Amino acid sequence: MKHPVEELFDDKIIVRKIKVKLPKLFQIAELESQRAGKTGMEVGSLRERVLIALFIHKFGEQNVNTEIPITETETDVIIKGYPLSIKTKTGKSLSGIKSIWTVDHKSVLSYINNYKPKMGIILTQIVWDEEGGLYFFPLEVQQKVFNELGKNYYFNIPKIGTNPRGVEFSAKAMSVMIEDKRTRFVKVNWTKTEISYNPFQRWVELWAQE
């Protein structure tokens, strides 16, 4: 059965909104996370909220579960009972996309040895001033690629003695999934616009209220 998120890619109005609004909303997320002109780590969480807000807009708040336990390491949101993992990647390269964040090599090996694809993945590829897009990798696509490549080529396995900071999908795995005809895609032109945005303004206004 299809993941409900695939409905986004069949909805012409939503597709148009993604093409027009996503670059601006992600640009605002970057501005909100900036410190001294540099984008902060929290931008990932802000981008995730932008996408979850899109899901709520499309499917209704009652059909989007955002109360995900911290023990659910891969699930970011549940839509109509279907879990979904949200990934974002800046730049053309397909390397560096995390499957999971970890803190030590033992956790890495345990995760990889026990791994099986279990939910859909939505990936936003951000390429400022060029083309990128929004991808959805259905579970069956992930399963096919995982079985074909095997875990040693599906992931980039960190070397012992290094600080892994997570398990990354290999660029090869990402490339093969993107090329699969069952993968859904909306092309996005990542054009920045002039935005006058003050991340402190809303807080100042709330303090000013009686």
pTM score: 0.91
**Other beta carbons within 10 Å of 158:** 18
Q: In 91-174, which ranges are E strands?
A: 98-100, 120-126, 131-137, 155-156, 167-169
- On whether residue 12 sits in a domain, the answer given is yes
Tell me the C-alpha distance between 42 and 40, whole Å.
5
40 vs 92, higher pLDDT? 92
Kindly state the percentage of the chain with pLDDT values over 90. Answer: 71
Task: Determine the Cα–Cα distance for residues 76 and 67; give it in Å rounded to an integer.
Answer: 9
Residue 162 lies in a domain: yes
- The number of distinct structural domains making up the chain is 1
| Domain ranges, residue 33 | 6-208
How confident is residue 180, by pLDDT bands cut at 50, 70 and 90? Answer: very high
- Residue 190 belongs to domain with CATH number: 3.40.600.30
* 60-69 per-position pLDDT tens digit: 999 999 999 8
* Residue range 124-128: mean pLDDT, rounded: 97
Q: How many CA atoms lie within 13 A of 82 on its CB side?
A: 18
Do the domain assignments include residue 53?
yes
Residue 1 domain-assigned? no
What value does the mean pLDDT take over residues 17-34? 93
Q: Return the amino acid letter for 56.
A: I
pLDDT score of 123: 98
Q: Does residue 14 fall inside a structural domain?
A: yes
Residue 204 inside a domain? The answer is: yes
Residue 195 confidence class, pLDDT cut points 50, 70, 90: confident
| Amino acid residing at 187 | K
Domain contains 199: yes
Residue bearing the bigger pLDDT, 31 or 102: 31
**Residue 128: inside a domain, yes or no?**
yes
